[in-house]
């Protein structure tokens, strides 16, 4: 209960902080966009992103994809996963605001907010034969829910191609379907620190 309350308080604080910049205005080509989030591959997910610019100031985006395995076979340190991933998926929704500005270093700067939910089926490691019968071993499901504030830059190449990079920070709630007695899901949960997306916009 205490963790859930802290998570709700954190989400509320982030929403209020994001709302303080939501009235900023800036140039943004209206229309649709579709692309890939290359940074998600570091976490083992092949993610497709779809977005819609509702006005010249802001857009919303949705992304989702299955777990396909990491490049080096190791899970990112910030996730704190409790075993080897058998399967999983991630879904995310968010919004970006482009404040009024002159391009700097060829980029348009933005602020944003996103919420994501990642679910993984994990195979726990057992130290001996007896522990395999204990709660918290075998196949379990670990769920990570994140809410993040974002700051980043967008570079456009021609009329349709955009490269977008950001850094992020926020709150995380980790849950495990079965735990050993006294086990913490993650001692220091960390939100995804950044992202890199390549988009086709029209």
Domain that includes residue 175, residue range? 2-201
pLDDT, residue 198, reads 94
User: pLDDT digits over 40-72, tens only?
Assistant: 888 899 999 999 998 878 899 999 999 998 888
- Quick one: pLDDT at residue 179? 64
Query: Which pLDDT score is estimated for 84?
Result: 86
pLDDT, position 26:
40
- Rounded distance, CA 41 to CA 47, Å? 8
What does the alpha-carbon distance between residue 186 and residue 183 come to, in Å, rounded to a whole number?
A: 9
For residue 23, give both structure tokens: 């009235």
Query: Mean of the per-residue pLDDT values for the chain?
Result: 79
Length of the chain: 202
Residue 163: count of CB within 10 angstroms of its CB = 16
- 66 contacts: CB under 8 Å, gap ≥ 6: 45, 46, 87, 88, 89
Task: Tokens for 70, please give them.
Answer: 């990491």
- Supply the CATH number for residue 128's domain: 2.40.160.20
pLDDT of residue 24: 37
**Total domains present in the chain:** 1
* 129: CB partners within 8 A, 6+ apart: none
């Amino acid at each position: 209960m205490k963790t859930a309350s802290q998570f709700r308080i954190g989400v509320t604080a982030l929403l209020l902080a994001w709302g303080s910049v939501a009235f900023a205005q800036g140039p943004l080509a209206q229309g649709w966009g579709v692309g890939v989030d290359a940074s998600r591959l570091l976490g083992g997910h092949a993610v497709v992103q779809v977005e819609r610019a509702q006005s010249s100031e802001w857009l919303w985006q949705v992304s989702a994809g299955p777990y396909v395995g990491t490049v080096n076979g190791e899970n990112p340190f910030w996730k704190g996963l409790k075993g080897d991933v058998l399967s999983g998926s991630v879904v995310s929704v968010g919004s970006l605001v482009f404040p009024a500005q002159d391009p700097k270093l060829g980029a348009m700067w933005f602020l944003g907010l996103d919420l994501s939910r990642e679910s993984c089926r994990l195979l726990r490691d057992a130290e001996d034969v007896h522990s395999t019968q204990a709660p918290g071993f075998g196949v379990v499901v670990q769920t990570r829910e994140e809410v993040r504030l974002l700051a980043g830059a967008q570079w456009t190449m021609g009329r349709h191609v955009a490269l977008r990079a950001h850094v992020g920070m926020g709150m995380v709630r980790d849950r495990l379907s079965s735990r050993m007695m006294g086990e913490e899901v993650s001692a220091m949960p960390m939100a995804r620190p950044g992202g890199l997306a390549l988009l086709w916009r029209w």
